[in-house]
Amino acid sequence: MTHPIYKILSIKIIAPYTLELMFDDNTVKKIDFRNILHGEMFTPLKDLKLFNQVKIDPEVFTIVWPNGADFDPALLHDWEKHEKELVERLTLKDSIT
């Protein structure tokens, strides 16, 4: 099975914890990240000042934060297919720790 490779070309902060991402295939996604800010890597992003420091990694063309948090661009490209499972996994992980 092949894994699609997408590149994020631009990001725009459009609301608190919400980004608009444009991909190399001209797909545009608006993603509200509030529901997934759980776990060791993502909880720190609840600090809006840190969240707003999001950048595009110039080598792998995904979004990254100064604390090392990042996402696979393919996951972001098809967010609606993955969001529910991601939220469940991260909130379950928080409840265990």
pLDDT in tens, 45-57: 999 999 999 999 9
Domain span holding position 81:
8-96
Q: How many domains does the chain have?
A: 1
pLDDT in tens, 63-83: 999 999 999 999 999 999 988
Q: Say if 62 falls within a structural domain.
A: yes
Q: Say if 28 falls within a structural domain.
A: yes
- Quote the percentage of the chain above a pLDDT of 90: 72
Q: Say if 3 falls within a structural domain.
A: no
Beta-carbon contacts of 60 under 8 Å, excluding residues fewer than 6 positions away, are 73
Q: At 21, which amino acid appears?
A: L
Q: Say if 74 falls within a structural domain.
A: yes
Q: Say if 2 falls within a structural domain.
A: no
pLDDT of 96 reads 53
Closest CA to 94 of 27, 29, 36, 47: 36
pLDDT in tens, 3-52: 789 999 999 999 999 999 999 999 999 999 999 998 899 999 999 999 99
| CATH number, position 68 | 3.30.2020.10
Q: How many whole angstroms from its chain centre is CA 67?
A: 13
